[in-house]
A and B are shown apart, each in its own frame.
Chain A
């Protein structure tokens, strides 16, 4: 079957409460009999983490097949998994290190390249050095990087591009439950009576998960679906209720839903009293959000708000999912916390069919968060809790003062600002492409071209970002190295090495270990700081770091992961099979000794002090965080009368380094487009396919118009399309040319979804 045309494949409908049937999807470049061997792995082209086996012939990857017995995908793969898992593997790969000379980049040996990095690193204060990593490495690599940064070098400047995709999920979970950790399970799809998708175009972002929903929808007793999205998408077209709030108004809508829940007596007051804190403030905050007022702020129908709230209030089992429509929008953390609140108000958590899935975008973003390769500490530890710092100091055998913990680790947006100011002038980027993915690209290009900046880029391809590097390190990619990673529902998979990396490319783990060796990082006894050399040894070290923490991996082994299916953490000696859902007992990790964070003021991001937090006496109860709606930092004006929002295509991932090299996917979506409502298109005199220019106060790009889809006043542009395959002289195609440098005060996730622009025919 052509899975470009049929994105979600054939239906296998089934009844509520029954297992999702298996359906094995496969794509092979050779006849099946010619495959030498199949190697276990899981797909890394979105956060779903579909388990698969890689087909190998003559030392090359030649295909993939979904793993039938796996709890995540039950054999299925989507178009990205099928057509872009390996097809890029011998195209345009970096096979040697490169170093910059006056003539540009030239080939170098590993010794020369690493020597240069170490020389630059050694001559600087740790605070002048920053690391910008990814949501696409493996757990073992993040953990190693985190130990290097926090206990070797001693810099707080480390974050991932996960800041752009998953920071709000983590922040909302911390604010409500005290710690990160996905409460729900994908199996809740099989059990729910109602499914709410908040800013989550699941049909495009996690296509296999959407297949799972479709199989419930087409079966008997289908769940009711409510979608919140300003666009028209396959999800909203299927939904029983589609709420299309104006970009930036999510918080008003959420307050309205909570208002209705309270107003109509859908609150389980007994549950609220026993398991939560903050009800009175929440009720007072939402008191004025009558459906009529919400309708006015959000530009939706009051009746739809009432109807959606009624569905939430009356359904026995509700599952909610949240993604970028909330995370990358205004009041991101506040609005995402309200989703948690809806569930807590009804006590719908920790039970089959009831749960919250605060999603992420990238395949291994969960690990960036757990391992502390982003703005967190390893093992969901609390930077403001001296005991947690001592635990890490003991584990790594270093002085506690070595570990920067005077403030939260530097978030990416601030890290880039420090580079902009020159106070960081050594930046090491791994597995990400900020020259296309960060907001306000004209500014990012200026920063990347700073004379005083020493830039290391570690990647599989010579990306747009690598063009600016002083040293380029060729990295092994998926299938060319071994490691584990964890999907959006806490499920850990092992990805084995199927083939050798091209040329001299090395795994990111080996690169980080080489740097640590050359820097000669030592512990308090003069022993090498990092005692491991293989992925499995790194995994064993990581297990110790998580022991007793919410993300406990201590019961997992590589061998256990070689079984039929992935395993969800926490996985301990007591729960060797892992844990489907968190919080079955409604005891939340909010105890001051346990929690990952003492919380923030949602308006400003001001931290709650430890004393204040302890005075709240949380005792395992969850926080019902409240906040009024506020105006977004940027809004329409006469010069920029439309609101742009950026997003994703089902056929591409991130900046297309892999999917753009897949013939099927490139053909499916070869070029950027600009989605306009019919009304706006008519007013602008734009017809389908016309080239249009989208321009903000900061920059502009062009693309072909697609009409329909968006609500009037809203323009949608996919962000995948950078410049590595652009034709000479073509106009700018990256959506981030026009986006703005603003972020959520709590999660620090940039606001990609509320940008004032103007559009005209090009």
Chain B
């Protein structure tokens, strides 16, 4: 059963996302909203990691390299300046999108098992991931013209 592989992937990706939010928040402390909200959203991702733990135990961990490679490939650290902020937010967006679709995959499997408890966790965590995505999109849309045209 590959559900365990995917749980491992999700677990590691949420971990990367939590770290990435945290790092972007710290390194863009001059943008108070970014600093504060990245911190809040990092905690959400960390909460997801915790919420996943019982299922990781239940289905066994079988970790592939995938998530670590994702982290290395997609989030190589923060940048500076207006365009740098934009790129960092974009990286977060890519990471969070990956997390989002991985929740979808896990949710589908949870229905097949069926595992009502896992399904419930998928529901609440994915809703929060969608909040992360909507904030990132809003902030990116706001920042883009200024960063690309006059910064």
Closest to B85 in A: A421
The answer to the question of A418 belonging to the interface, with a C-beta cut-off of 8 Å to chain B, is: yes
Segment with Cβ contacts to A, from B1-9, B51-59, B133-141: B133-141
A contact residues around B147 at 8 Å (CB): 423
> Please, how many angstroms separate the alpha-carbon atoms of A605 and B132 in the complex?
10
Known contacts A406-B141, A742-B32, A743-B33; decide if A423 and B146 are in contact (CB<8 Å).
yes
Q: How many Å lie between the Cα of A696 and that of B150 in the bound state? A: 34
Q: Does A445 reach chain B (CB closer than 8 Å)?
A: no
Does chain A have a CB within 8 A of B77?
Answer: no
Indicate whether A633 reaches chain B with its CB closer than 8 angstroms.
yes
B149: Cβ under 8 A from any A Cβ: yes
| Chain A 598-647 interface residues, beta-carbon cutoff 8 Å to B | 601, 603-609, 630, 633
- Is B142 close to A, CB under 8 A? yes
Q: Are B135 and A605 in contact (CB under 8 A)?
A: yes
Interface with A: B10-18, B36-44, B63-71, B103-111, which one?
A: B36-44
Binary contact track A406-440/B, C-beta < 8 Å → 1, others 0 = 11101001100110110100000000000000000
Tell whether A125 is near chain B: CB-to-CB under 8 Å: yes
Once the chains are docked, how many angstroms separate the CA of A603 from the CA of B135?
9
Q: Is the CB of A605 within 8 A of B138?
A: yes
Inter-subunit contact A607/B32 (CB<8 Å): no
From A421, A605, A633, B151 is in contact (CB under 8 Å) with: A421
Structural contact, A414 and B142, CB atoms closer than 8 A: yes
Tell which of B41, B133, B151 touches A423, judged by Cβ atoms closer than 8 Å: B151
Q: Does A127 contact B (CB under 8 A)?
A: yes
A638 to B116, CA, bound (A): 46
A604 touches B146 (CB 8 A): no
Q: Which residue, B31, B144, B151, has most C-beta atoms of chain A within 10 A? A: B151
**Contact: A407 with B150, CB < 8 Å?**
no
Find out whether the CB atom of A606 lies under 8 angstroms from the CB atom of B145.
no
- Decide if the interface of chain B is mainly helix, strand, loop or mixed: helix
A128 interfacial contact with B, CB 8 Å:
yes
Q: Please, which residue of chain B has its CB at the minimum distance from the CB of A612? A: B134
Q: Is B114 an interface residue (CB 8 A)?
A: no
CA distance A420 to B30 in the complex (A): 10
Say whether A149 faces chain B, with CB atoms less than 8 Å apart: no
Give Cα A346 to B42, complex, Å. 37
Bound complex: CA A743 to CA B34 (Å)? 11
Is A741 positioned at the interface, with any CB of B under 8 Å from its CB? yes
Residue of A406, A607, A630, A745 touching B145 (CB-CB under 8 A): A406
CB distance from B110 to the nearest CB of A (A): 21
B131/A603 in contact, CB under 8 A? yes
CB nearest to B149 among chain A residues: A127
CA of A421 to CA of B132, assembled, Å: 26
A231 CB → nearest B CB, Å: 26
**Is B82 on the interface with A (CB-CB < 8 A)?**
yes
Q: Type the 1/0 row for A532-548, where 1 means its CB is closer than 8 Å to any CB of B.
A: 00000000000000000
Q: Is the pair A604, B131 in contact by a Cβ cutoff of 8 Å?
A: yes
- Given A630-B40, A741-B32, A745-B37, also A606-B141 (CB < 8 A): no
Query: Which residues of chain A are near B135, meaning CB under 8 Å?
Result: 601, 604-606
A606 touches B134 (CB 8 A): yes
Q: How far is the CA of A572 from the CA of B133 in the complex (A)?
A: 42
Whether A604 and B32, one on each chain, are in contact in the complex, defined by CB atoms closer than 8 angstroms, is no
User: Are B151's CB and A604's CB within 8 A?
Assistant: no
Chain A CB within 10 Å — which of B30, B36, B82, B136 has the most? B36
Least CB separation from B134: chain A residue: A606
Choose one: A125, A741, A742; the contact of B149 (CB below 8 Å).
A125
For B37, what are the chain A residues with a Cβ–Cβ distance below 8 Å?
604-605, 745
A277 → chain B closest CB, angstroms: 17
Separation in Å of the B139 CB from the closest CB of chain A?
8
**A410–B146 CA distance with the chains assembled, in angstroms:** 10
Beta-carbon contacts under 8 Å, B61-114 to A: 82
CB-nearest residue of chain B to A417: B31
CA distance A469 to B123 in the complex (A): 54
Please tell me the number of chain A residues within 8 Å of chain B, measured between CB atoms. 30
Q: Are A607 and B146 in contact (CB under 8 A)?
A: no
Cβ contacts under 8 Å, B41 to chain A: 604
A401 CB, nearest partner CB in chain B, Å: 13
Q: Is the CB of B40 within 8 A of A128?
A: no
CA distance A235 to B118 in the complex (A): 51
Bound Cα distance A301, B133 (Å): 39
Query: B36–A127 contact, CB under 8 A?
Result: no
Flag A392-415 by CB within 8 Å of B: 1 or 0 each.
Answer: 000000000000101110100110
- B131: chain A residues at CB < 8 Å are 601, 603-604, 606
Contact residues of A between 539 and 575, Cβ < 8 Å to B = none
- Which B residues are in CB contact (< 8 Å) with A407? 138, 141-142, 145
B-side contacts of A420, CB under 8 Å: 30
- Residues of chain B with a CB closer than 8 A to A601's CB: 131, 134-135
Kindly list chain B residues whose C-beta atoms are within 8 Å of the C-beta of A414: 142
In the complex the two chains form, what is the Cα distance from A630 to B37 in whole Å? 12
What is the distance, in angstroms, from A409's C-beta to the closest C-beta of chain B? 10
Does A421 contact B82, Cβ atoms closer than 8 Å?
A: yes
Q: In the complex, which residue of chain A has the Cβ closest to the Cβ of B140? A: A407
Please state if A127 and B145 are interface contacts (CB–CB under 8 Å): yes
Report the Cα distance A634→B132, complex, angstroms.
Answer: 22
- Cα A455 to Cα B79 in complex, Å, equals 30
A639 to chain B, nearest CB (A): 18
A156 to B142 alpha-carbon distance, docked (Å): 10
Contact status of A742 and B36, CB under 8 A, knowing A423-B151, A601-B134: yes
Q: With the chains together, A601 CA to B136 CA distance in Å?
A: 12
A603 touches B40 (CB 8 A): yes
Tell me the bound Cα distance from A418 to B135 in angstroms: 20
- Are A604 and B142 in touch, CB under 8 angstroms? no
CA distance A741 to B137 in the complex (A): 23
Contacting pair A125 B150 (CB below 8 A): yes
Interfacial chain A residues near B137, Cβ < 8 Å? 606-607
A607 in contact with B150 (CB, 8 Å)? no
Which residues 134-168 of A have a CB within 8 angstroms of B? Answer: 156
In the assembled complex, the Cα of A743 lies from the Cα of B147 at a distance in Å of: 21
**List of B residues within 8 angstroms of A156 by Cβ:** 145
A128 touches B150 (CB 8 A): yes
- Note all chain A residues with C-beta closer than 8 A to B33: 413, 605, 743, 745
Query: Closest residue of chain A to B41, judged by CB?
Result: A604
Q: Are B142 and A423 in contact (CB under 8 A)?
A: no
In the complex, are the beta carbons of A423 and B150 less than 8 A apart?
yes
Assess the A607–B138 pair: CB atoms within 8 A. yes
Contact status B134-A608, CB under 8 Å:
yes
Q: How far is the CA of A414 from the CA of B32 in the complex (A)?
A: 10
- The chain A residue sitting closest to B141, CB to CB, is A407
Q: Which of B31, B82, B150 has the most chain A CB atoms inside 10 A of its CB? A: B150
Q: A418 contacts which chain B residues (CB < 8 A)?
A: 146
Residues of B near A608 (CB, < 8 A) are: 134
8 Å CB contact of B134 from A609, A630, A633: A609
* Chain B residue at minimal CB-CB distance from A422: B151
Task: Identify the interface centre among B32, B37, B149, B151: most chain A CB within 10 Å of its CB.
Answer: B32
Q: How far is the CB of A344 from chain B (nearest CB, A)?
A: 23
Assess whether B141 is in contact with A127, with CB atoms less than 8 Å apart.
no
- The smallest beta-carbon distance between B121 and chain A, in angstroms, is 16
CB proximity of B48 to chain A, nearest CB, Å: 15
Q: How far is the CB of A450 from chain B (nearest CB, A)?
A: 15
Q: Cβ of B134 and Cβ of A604 under 8 Å apart?
A: yes
A residues 713-751 near B (Cβ < 8 Å) are: 741-743, 745
Contact A127–B134 (Cβ < 8 Å): no
Cα(A605)–Cα(B36), bound, Å: 12
CB-based contact A127/B150 at 8 Å: yes
Chain B residues proximal to chain A, CB less than 8 Å: 30-33, 36-37, 40-41, 82, 131-138, 141-142, 144-147, 149-151
Ordered nearest first, which 6 A-B pairs have the shortest CB separation?
A: A606-B134, A606-B135, A604-B135, A407-B142, A423-B151, A127-B150
Given contacts A125-B150, A127-B145, A742-B36, 10 further A-B contacts (CB under 8 A): A406-B144, A407-B141, A417-B31, A420-B30, A421-B151, A604-B131, A604-B132, A606-B131, A606-B138, A633-B36
Can you pick out 11 interface pairs between chain A and chain B where the beta carbons lie within 8 Å of each other? A404-B145, A406-B145, A407-B141, A407-B145, A414-B142, A421-B82, A423-B147, A605-B33, A605-B135, A605-B138, A743-B32
